[in-house]
Amino acid sequence: ALIPNADGPYLEYGQEITPAQRARGDFIGGVVRLGWHDGSTYSQEDSNGGMDGCLNFDDPANKGLRGIWQELRPVYRNYEDVCSRADFTSLATITVIKAAGGPDIEIPYGRVDADECDEDWGRFPSLKKSRDHVRKVFRRMGFTMQEAVALMGAHTVGRCELKNFGLEGPWAENEHVFDNAYYHKMLDLVWERKVEVTEEFGSQPHWDHAKMLLMLNTDISLAWNIDGDNDDPNHGDPHKCGGDMQCDTQNSYRHVARYAQSQEEWFEDFSSAWIKLLSLGQDGDLQKCESEEDSDSYDDRSWFSSW
């Protein structure tokens, strides 16, 4: 199976993840990141980028994604005559999200691939910055702050890997499960400001919980008012947030709190925002296909039954 099977129960706080659960989370998180990095290159102002099946794997922000595409490529070869890369990647994301326990998302098809995407370079969010940067990046794509908070919850699957980010660790214990743990972990646990320094990535500020979980500045700043644009862990106030720590909240805190309380509401809002993301940059009308009999489409997820 392309999606690794995961043994063991749902992990409680402090339990160690199994190798199978880790492998499943790595793959699912990687496929979701692949879709996000394709769609999130869109610029409303410049009318380019978006979900066009084109990723520049030499962009440092895309480190690790070449390997994910290489895993998907053998499946895609069977359908490339009738399926664009953008449609295939879109379908892959909603398939793994559902397989991980997330919402069942229905998307339209008909995306057209781009052969070049040099303008996409440098459009991804900086891990070092905070809420104002997040708002600016998502506004460039046409998203509201509420939609940004909903989309950021996809960090609940997968993890940061040292070789790709200069940081190591998951956002939630059950990194192979698509649930709302990202939000209630952000609010319920105490997070401490840290900096990881590597030769390749330099200083990478982040927030640590008990050396088990991490949050990026871009994550924590959705709920808490932090000074996120400085590499010094002793710079600014606060040094800790979450749990019983008294930190000033951001306006977007209300969205984080709502999704922490209701997974159903998050699934609904995430699904709407994800469909929007997967349609960015496509000028033509995308169509939902009712069946294979009345179209030459490829919306049947039995394609991925081997996953």
Catalogue the active-site residues: 37, 171
Phi, psi of 160 (to 5 degrees): -80, 140
Task: Report whether 22 contacts 161 (CB < 8 A).
Answer: no
3-state secondary structure the chain: CCCCCCCCCCCCCCCCCCHHHHHHHHHHHHHHHHHHHHHCCCECCCCECCCCCCCCCCCHHHCCHHHHHHHHHHHHHCCCCCCCHHHHHHHHHHHHHHHCCCCCCCCCECCCCCCCCHHHCCCCCCCCCCHHHHHHHHHHHCCCHHHHHHHHHHHHCCEECHHHHCCCEECCCCCCCCCCHHHHHHHHCCEEEEEEEECCCEEEEEEEECCCEEEEHHHHCCCECCCCCCCCCCCCCCCEECCCCCCCECCCHHHHHHHHHCHHHHHHHHHHHHHHHCCCCCCCCCECCCCCCCCCCCCCHHHHCCC
**Cα 223 to Cα 254: distance, rounded to the nearest angstrom:** 8
